[in-house]
Structure 1
Amino acid sequence: MIASMIMLTAGLSLNAHLPPLIPWQGKSEQLMQTKGPLTTYFELSEGADSPDYQQTMAFVERLVAANPTQFKAVDIGFSRSGRAIKMLIASEQSQFSASMLKNNNKPTLLIQAGIHAGEIDGKDAAFMMLRDIALGKRRDLLSKVNILFIPILNVDGHERRSRYNRINQRGPVEMGFRTNANNLNLNRDYTKLDTPEVSAVLKVIEQYAPQLYLDVHVTDGADYQYDITYGFTPEFASESPAIARVLESKIKPMIDGQLSEHGHIPGPLVFAMDKRDFKKGIAGWVAGPRFSNGWGDLAGVPTILVENHSLKPYKQRVLGTYVLYDGLISALSEHHRELEEAIAYEQSQVPKQLVVKRNYAEKPDFITFKGVAYKHFDSAISGQKEAKYLGKALDYEALPIFWQKDIALKVDVPEYFYIPPAYPHIIENLKIHGIEVQKIGGQLKNNAKLKQALVEQHDFAKQPFEGRFRVDASFRLVAVDDVDLAGWYKVPTQQARGELATHLLHPQAPDSFFSWGEFNTIFQRTEYVENYALEPFARSMLKENPAMALEFDRKIREDKTFASDPKARMEWLYAQTPYYDNAYLKYPILMSFKEQ
């Protein structure tokens, strides 16, 4: 408390501990207004602060009141604390329904701000842009695109406001918290769907089918010259490479050009390999489907992740975000036909095999990079060498970049997944993901092509991650017979989101429902055996089955640990009896594969 009071009353700002800044001025400063109708909270604070939830919702209402023929606000869901998650729909001619937007010959852009509520640049930038549309200054924007705008996704985290939520971020003065009221990170929830916030977003995407999804964040990590960094799954790692090509060759150049023209420095979406020694290189990250951009790549939904540079002033970041919106809208308007063709193509393609896990390459590529000079010093606090950024530009001609190019795990894509009716929440989540699920009726029996995954080894996480105890396992596939599939659900992989369905339902995928712990009950046994009953039964069983008796004798001879462990011996014998739990360690979702 005393320390906080000292900081608040000091002449220096709360940013005194952060590295020195490279001075900045940009043409985008002309976008701000200081008075007049619909001046934003951000502008009234001279680019220093952001409004709270109530003020934000009030401004949404003011925008709609100022231009009801082009703006409409809707609730897309509610947080666990009961706060409404608002979305503003902006369309040129009162075309607010999903069907109208899909048929007005313009692409739809979904802008999402505040998934991490402390990273709120996207909200204030969009408010300025929408104000300019409402007042007629930027009437051209709605002639190019329809806009869906979620000002705050993490509404509960947004209200956990403090000056002390992000130690490595310059502004706003008060910012929200990273996680929601249940301490869950929304941008780790795109597969398991534990949060109403992310479920609401996926329902919007399914309903409105936007041509592009923009998720606005702020970085952690190292210092460099770029103020606006963004990216998408690169073509070499993409499951939607046709989309990646359009984003890289058509959309990105127009965004970069607009940012550069307005005094900003656009940069790649990368992270330092070693935050204390930037020269060791940067990480070319490829997102998995738990993240918005990784989910979008698998779902065939063009998705761009913005990561504004946390060490740049809030005003600079927000203005750069406005400029990014402007460039993206022009690019989307000009190239949406090519993007739509790429979407249609990718959603019609499902490979025979799917990469579900990648590792960083051992050997780097090299890129030019606009860094910031730093020096090392011996820290008496940490007891090791630390880095101190010096606020001076340092350009790297050949900085190593380690992309996640190495394929760690690839799985065969089934023709169908079969889900028992005992898992209705899995069915519901698949539907939220936009995945087609078919109910099986009648007395349909399976054939020998059905396979089941049996767990051979497994390991539970030692601590929870995102509220779940994740599980890692190895499997072998076996044929299953005589399963009555009546009342089950069938999920074909030959569908628009078949690749996503495979990542969710194949137990070996790192972001599958299995890996997130949805099927942990298969690791427990609830019927027991007593040796007074098992011992005579086993003796009789071995007498009647010579092959089993030989196998039992072999294990005793060759495995001394097994031979000296009465519990292990009886456990092995129990597993051979018809009394043994036939669901133990068996993944309940079945699979069928096309004959090769």
Structure 2
Amino acid sequence: MIATIIMLSATISMDTYLPPLMAWEGKSLQLMQKNGPLTTDFELSDGMASPDYTQTMAFVERLVAANPTQFKAIDIGKSKAGRAIKMLVACEQGKFSESDIANSVKPTLLIQAGIHAGEIDGKDAGFMLLRDIATGKRLDILSKVNILFVPILNVDGHERRGEFNRINQRGPIEMGFRTNANNLNLNRDYTKLDTPEVRAILAVINSYRPDLYVDVHVTDGADYQYDVTYGYNPQFASESPAIAKVLDEHFKPHIDKTLTKNDHVAGPLVFVKNKRDFKQGLAGWVATPRFSNGWGDLASIPTILVENHSLKPYKQRVLGTYVFLDGAVSALAKDHTLLEAAVEREYASKPDKIVVQRSYAKQPDHIQFKGISYKNFESAISGQMEAKYLGEPKFYDNLPIYWQKEVAKTVSVPKAFYIPPAYPDIVEKLRLHGVLVEKITSSEEKVGLQQARVSKHKFASSPFEGRFRVSADFAFDALTARSLTNWYYVSTDQNKSELITHLLHPQAPDSFFQWGEFNTIFQRTEYVENYALEPYARSMLKNNPAMALEFDKKIREDSDFANNAKARLTWLYKKTPFYDQAYLKYPVLFEFGE
């Protein structure tokens, strides 16, 4: 292992090209061990390397063998390439079943690493933490919480290892790839559920019911002093504001204090508006439900997204993650009852309208921010002004931050949705989301339903995450009474009301509709021959004077229409009972309350 590291280090070092580092000698260095039971591959490499899949799975088995009364490894799924996705269950009394954990008096922390397999800090940090539990150094942890630990979610991307996967990330020497074997980004899949990896993690959440979900990433972008940044949707933009309030007032202060005590710098999860001009300010992101933390916000699952800073050395990032997780454990143990009460308040909340799309505020707020000094220079390479970071701290006392505060689109929440029996895959995905779906067996006719009809639509010009996305404008039509036997009924009077609406309302940007699940409604498969339509239309106009007047008016007032035979005949064809009545009709029906 050591010889391999030396050889690889000799082949390439991006340190020559990356911004200079600020010196760091943190107290958390004391967490590392050089030898002894269950020393991790990360520690054996002095914080330079991360083990491959085979080595990782071997360490999982070693942990279980060292302490089988407190650890159990289970397969939660399998990747498209056939690799098992492992999860470690850690609890004090050895009661490892789903019901044991879900009904435990102690809170449960779900730690997810490697959703982007190049950003693998959480795996090595989690192994160190669990090792300290297994060897008796941290007997306190399992007396306070249960832990579910997924060391690698993106197991196939993890094995697309190499030195050249992230040009702006300092280590490990070899790292995995961002996407899975099908080139899908798992952290864009939390609504459409195309990947077995995200399906697996939602199944874990549904069955084990964790109290806190932590998803560990590594960020990119600008340079700054913070080595551990993290966040969740802010209260003003959250669909679970009671949860965000508890995280703000009780969890964040405790986690920040733990990080600071160990010489790590905790920062907010924000992004830079202009990477070449830091002074223009920050962008305050609000996650939509395609992302883990956006999905958690809508599902009322307390979720924290950790983004370690890519320019900090791998050793520093991993140790910072260990300290973060330690802080999260103690915060959860101390204040889980407050968090549980907030979740119950959110489950009970059933809004009439929800925001499905936001835009950035035109006027900024201002925050204090620990940046890094930089200078601008005219680049002969890019032909524009570029930024060069200088490795010296720079404090911004009043830096602008533009949050996504503007409401761009809201929708009314229906009382219920009705799904045709021809869409069992949609029903399956809803159940994976933890949504209650009931099959209708009664033949009684239903009244008061509405259907969305596409009035204008636009397909994306290129695929995104394997899908051709579509957006549309809609009109809503009242329907006559009809029987819905064998259809599926989805009430919004259940715990995940807001998530249900985001998934099934076609105007929501992360809905099944906009991800392309219903693209067949844009196909016309029956057409008309003019020799049949022309005499039928003549008779139709003769027997319907109002239609004839409307047709004559359109000819008089619209010269393009008047001079376009196809447009004239199409207009008439749409008026016949032979026209495809399902064309451009969203098949999921709506029931609105009084």
TM-score, with structure 2 as normaliser? 0.98
1:91-490 superposed matches below 5 A = 91-447=91-447, 449-490=448-489
Give how far 1:564 is off.
1.1
In 2: Cα distance, 1:300 partner to 1:233 partner? 11
**Given residue 225 of structure 1, which amino acid in structure 2 is its aligned partner?**
Q
Corresponding position of 2:535? 536
In 1: Cα distance, 2:419 partner to 2:13 partner? 57
Check conservation: 1:110, 1:148, Cα contact below 8 A: yes
Give how far 1:437 is off.
0.4
Question: SS state of the match for residue 36, structure 1?
Answer: coil
**Given residue 508 of structure 1, which amino acid in structure 2 is its aligned partner?**
Q
In 1: Cα distance, 2:557 partner to 2:398 partner? 57
Give how far 1:9 is off.
7.8
Give how far 1:11 is off.
8.1
Deviations 1:28-61 (A, max 9, x none): 0000000111000000000001000000000000
Question: SS state of the match for residue 355, structure 1?
Answer: strand
In 2: Cα distance, 1:84 partner to 1:386 partner? 44
**Given residue 483 of structure 1, which amino acid in structure 2 is its aligned partner?**
R
In 2: Cα distance, 1:434 partner to 1:16 partner? 49
Corresponding position of 2:505? 506
Query: Please, which moves more after superposition, 557-566 or 179-188?
Result: 557-566
Give how far 1:12 is off.
6.8
Answer yes or no: is 1:566 the counterpart of 2:565: yes
In 1: Cα distance, 2:443 partner to 2:331 partner? 53
**Given residue 25 of structure 1, which amino acid in structure 2 is its aligned partner?**
E
Give how far 1:103 is off.
3.0
Give how far 1:348 is off.
1.4
Question: SS state of the match for residue 542, structure 2?
Answer: helix
Check conservation: 2:102, 2:207, Cα contact below 8 A: no
Corresponding position of 1:60? 60
Corresponding position of 2:87? 87
Deviations 1:115-144 (A, max 9, x none): 000000000000001000000000101011
**Given residue 390 of structure 1, which amino acid in structure 2 is its aligned partner?**
L
**Given residue 539 of structure 1, which amino acid in structure 2 is its aligned partner?**
R
Check conservation: 2:8, 2:173, Cα contact below 8 A: no
Quick one: structure 1 residues 531 and 588, their matched pair in 2 at CA, closer, same or farther if it must change by over 3 Å? same
Give how far 1:382 is off.
0.6
Deviations 1:481-521 (A, max 9, x none): 14320000000001001110000000000000000000000
Check conservation: 1:8, 1:14, Cα contact below 8 A: no
Corresponding position of 1:3? none
Quick one: structure 1 residues 9 and 589, their matched pair in 2 at CA, closer, same or farther if it must change by over 3 Å? closer
In 2: Cα distance, 1:393 partner to 1:96 partner? 47
Check conservation: 1:283, 1:403, Cα contact below 8 A: yes
In 2: Cα distance, 1:389 partner to 1:280 partner? 16
Quick one: structure 1 residues 9 and 177, their matched pair in 2 at CA, closer, same or farther if it must change by over 3 Å? closer
Check conservation: 1:451, 1:478, Cα contact below 8 A: yes
Question: SS state of the match for residue 264, structure 2?
Answer: coil
Question: SS state of the match for residue 315, structure 2?
Answer: helix
Question: SS state of the match for residue 574, structure 1?
Answer: helix
Deviations 1:248-287 (A, max 9, x none): 0000111000000000000000000111111101110000
Query: Please, which moves more after superposition, 97-106 or 566-575?
Result: 97-106
Give how far 1:442 is off.
2.2
1:28-39 superposed matches below 5 A = 28-39=28-39
Identity %: 69
Give how far 1:291 is off.
0.2
Deviations 1:357-381 (A, max 9, x none): 0000000000000000111111111
Give how far 1:102 is off.
2.8
Corresponding position of 2:3? none
Answer yes or no: is 1:576 the counterpart of 2:578: no
In 2: Cα distance, 1:438 partner to 1:271 partner? 42
Question: SS state of the match for residue 180, structure 2?
Answer: coil
Question: SS state of the match for residue 68, structure 1?
Answer: coil
Check conservation: 1:416, 1:491, Cα contact below 8 A: yes
In 2: Cα distance, 1:11 partner to 1:261 partner? 37
Superposition RMSD on alpha carbons, in Å?
Answer: 1.0
- How many pairs are equivalent? 588
In 1: Cα distance, 2:132 partner to 2:237 partner? 38
**Given residue 518 of structure 2, which amino acid in structure 1 is its aligned partner?**
F
Task: Give the gaps of 5 or more residues in structure 2.
Answer: 1-6
In 1: Cα distance, 2:202 partner to 2:12 partner? 43
Corresponding position of 2:73? 73
TM-score, with structure 1 as normaliser? 0.98
**Given residue 378 of structure 1, which amino acid in structure 2 is its aligned partner?**
E
